[in-house]
C-alpha cells in the first residue's frame, strides 16, 4: 500500500473529508488530493502531523513506501547542501570585501560571479521552501 493510499484509507476511517483533513493539518485541500493520488509527497513536518492526526507512528505510515523514504533522505541532504553553499558564498563576499578595504584590491569579476551564484542558491532555497508549503 502506498503512502497516498494509506492517507486516503485513514482519512475515510476517521470520517474526514479532504477539506477537513487539510484544515487540521494547515495545508490546502489540493495538497491532500496530490498526496492521496501519489502525485506528491508530504514533507517531514506534514508526515509527522499526519501520523499524529491518525495516531500512527511514522514507521507505520511510510515503512512500505520506498519512494517516500528516498525522498525524505534526499530532501534533508539537499537542504543541508544549499545552506552550506550559501554560507560559503557569503564568506567569499566578506573575503573579497576585506581585500578591497585592507589591500585596495577589488576583484570585480570574482565579486559579480560570487553574487550571481549566491542569489541563484538563495532563489533555489526559497523556491524549495515555497514548494513545500503548497
Domain count, the chain: 2
User: Does 71 lie in the same domain as 128?
Assistant: yes
Mean pLDDT of 55-67: 84
Domain-ending residue, one of 62, 90, 112: 62
H or E element that contains 93: helix 66-102
Mean pLDDT of 18-37: 95
CA–CA dist 50, 12 (Å, integer)? 13
Domain-ending residue, one of 46, 62, 78: 62
CA dihedral of 59, 64, 66, 70, whole degrees rounded to 10: -10
Give tens-digit pLDDT for 72-118. 777 766 777 878 888 999 999 999 999 889 988 888 888 899 999 99
Domain-ending residue, one of 62, 84, 104: 62
pTM for the complete prediction?
0.57
Which residue range is the domain that position 94 belongs to?
A: 66-133
Amino acid at each position: 500500500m502506498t503512502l497516498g493510499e494509506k492517507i486516503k484509507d485513514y482519512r475515510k476511517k476517521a470520517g474526514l473529508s479532504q477539506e477537513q483533513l487539510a484544515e487540521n493539518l494547515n495545508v490546502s485541500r489540493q495538497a491532500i488530493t496530490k498526496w492521496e493520488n501519489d502525485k506528491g509527497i508530504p514533507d517531514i513536518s506534514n508526515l509527522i502531523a499526519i501520523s499524529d492526526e491518525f495516531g500512527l507512528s511514522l514507521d507505520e505510515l511510510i515503512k512500505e513506501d520506498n519512494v517516500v523514504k528516498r525522498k525524505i533522505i534526499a530532501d534533508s541532504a539537499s537542504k543541508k547542501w544549499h545552506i552550506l553553499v550559501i554560507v560559503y558564498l557569503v564568506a567569499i563576499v566578506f573575503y573579497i570585501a576585506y581585500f578591497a578595504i585592507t589591500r585596495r584590491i577589488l576583484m570585480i569579476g570574482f565579486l559579480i560571479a560570487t553574487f550571481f551564484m549566491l542569489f541563484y542558491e538563495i532563489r533555489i532555497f526559497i523556491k524549495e521552501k515555497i514548494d513545500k508549503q503548497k
